[in-house]
Structure 1
């Protein structure tokens, strides 16, 4: 009988327990597809006594997570601990240095340290797999690394955070404001007690930097991602977008050209004619545009024990088959060091919302600032007074350079007419 692939598993939370359940439930099918059985032999977590709904007494228990890297029977280490540094990174380095392939769902660690780990894996002839780090069970990494490998990718973009998409689509359906929907998302388990990484766009930025590296053959460059989250989106913005034929989605967008690598996570107005406008709830969706394959859409559950465990075990099946390959679709040494693109030179249409005092001359002041910066206004809308006496003014611009909009907002900054920070959202084109 062919020897099984033996796994040491770090982290027994929702996903870790899901991996064990999946391997148990589909053991025969997995063995047929992998060419040999896959079995867990050792586990590590913070609390040995916690009831996780799976029997862990059949596995070796290891108190120190880092010791899994030296477990004598394990061939592969699976890390589901999380965090860009700390125990997860220590375990990754030790596993690859100790001759064990490594599988992770940790997007933060791959975004920050993926190049180092890819170099270590390639030098040692080991596998480094991270399908579960982006979009849960949606096989977007495999799709870019393998399915679209022959294509030059012009752009990759999409909905990369299920928490934000749940909040925005719920606001859209019910007309309620952000804080109220966030509290509900926390009660339902869609949002963490501290949701900052999600709602401020950091989680999506980690994922975008990984996708950009795979799509464009560049070294991961998380520090170059421009990030704006969704905490300042109002129900009024969503209603205004709907009246114009758009829906608001937090998108990660990346492209690469002669001007450098562009990466941005930002709320966008998405036309109703675009498939991303119809992605609701906690679903993730990624679009990649290849020069021969055309537009590819990857969509599905972006989190949860089942989808994420499915991606982890898919990586294990690849390793069991001996399908290693470079983690970023080309050798790490061949990845280009990207310079950041100048976003001011980008052109597009924008939605800009102002909260202003209800007094004479405010609209003229805004229009003058836009005119002086060279921004052409397509439409301007003013809505009724809020309880505090302020009103909302929303502008949609004609296509033009982003630098002009930024200059107009700089000119208005500090104006006594504005009672809150402007909200600038890009309008998705193409």
Structure 2
């Protein structure tokens, strides 16, 4: 990919043609929410115009067409991440998927509920058991495990990061023991842009008999992803970060694990038999899909996956790597700017969080927004990581396949003017 092709790609994204504050929009906030190509918008509209009906319920032709579209979308998205159809559960987003797992573990801990109580016991936690996360986790991959430990009496521990934000792998080797039941960690940090060694960490966990939960929110949109090859047990990702709509995400789980895991939400469409005293549940994935599902959103997410596949995930990753290196090198060269995560020249994705000394991140964001540049400001739902690095908030620029080198350069030019604009000229000035 190059700027010529990217400018052609931008024609597929109507929102990118608008102006903000009288200037062309430079959208560098895809780490929070990506934009949608026309094919995704049209796929959802076409579903409502031609196929809108309840799935897995009606026997009429429209319901059959809706069900076919829904399940075809599942197969498309599952294949995109190297999974089988029955290993992909639709959720509202990645946060919902992680909570689904945490509460299902709770259900196993209480009673071994589900169709196979004896199998469900493998998920039961009790005092003495440990759940391990990392210090760089998004709150969505931290708080559900905090609550699970509170409910079950298990202990939550974390793998620390060093002063540059990298995981201390020697500590991971020490902390992963026979007491570890779950290791939950992010594939790519939404603050640091660092790509964690999934296979190495997964091997350590499996050798100790622990289950591995991967947060793939920042990897599924940007890297070629094969969850089978990575050998993780569960993984989550969100549609709105990978050109899809909001309100749709997915939980991946190995088939034998999902079928043994007790359900979380219960109700219609996830049962085989119901009496007035008990119920029996369907196999996965339907056992975790109670009620009306995000049908049109699933169809649109499949269209997003097709767009990414046709563009080529290897090509997207290489382009974003180029943008990320340009971004980090430029920010690192600005006096008074501290960039979090890997240094220039080291592997990272196309995002960079940075601190402008003497200027609050919210003021930085407003300064950039006045110039048409959209970025994220705050703690990015990673307060413990910011606290470890001595910060309360940062500014994050995150690129995607529709960003050009010129847009990165315009951000860098603006970033170089921030401290002068706010009258901060001394290196090391307090925030």
Same fold (TM over 0.5): no
The two structures have a TM-score, normalised by structure 1, of 0.26
The two structures have a TM-score, normalised by structure 2, of 0.26
- Larger Rg belongs to: 1
